Amino acid sequence: MRNLVYIFLGGGFGSVLRFVVSNYTQKLWNINSFPMGTFVVNIIGCFLIGVFSSYFIKIDSYLKFLLITGFCGGFTTFSTFSAENISIWENGNYAMLICYILLSVIVGFGAVYLGLNIAKN
């Protein structure tokens, strides 16, 4: 039961921070309808889950539930990423669709890898 509380708290904080960071980023870098807010949030989340996983995944700690499952789960958003891709596709902007998907996957993978390796050192 305690782990659920940690997930709840981390998820709530992550969701609120996602909203703030995404909105601010989108206003700051409004680039031809590219969903920069979601992209930045998801890349930051990938990096953080790499760092947190390096420290907490192998130990039985409440921080694993608070930070990885809760915070990163609330902060990142695959559902918004998917909905934005459908919207881009429906608008016929296929070049941006391919760019967004590839950038998100490749840069996200790289961010997790970087986070894991930075935390090791």
- Tens digits of residue pLDDT in 35-69: 999 999 999 999 999 999 998 877 878 999 999 99
Please report, for residues 30, 37, 79, the alpha-carbon distance to residue 24 in angstroms, rounded to integers and kept in the order given: 10, 7, 20
Please report, for residues 16, 103, 106, the alpha-carbon distance to residue 76 in angstroms, rounded to integers and kept in the order given: 11, 15, 16
Look at residue 56 in the predicted model and tell me its pLDDT.
Answer: 86
Look at residue 58 in the predicted model and tell me its pLDDT.
Answer: 77
- Residue 9 predicted with pLDDT over 80: yes
Residue 73, marked binder? yes
Domain total for the chain?
1
71, burial (CB in 10 Å: exposed 0-12, middle 13-18, buried 19+): buried
Residue 76, marked binder? yes
Domain of 78? 2-120
Q: What is the pTM of this model?
A: 0.91
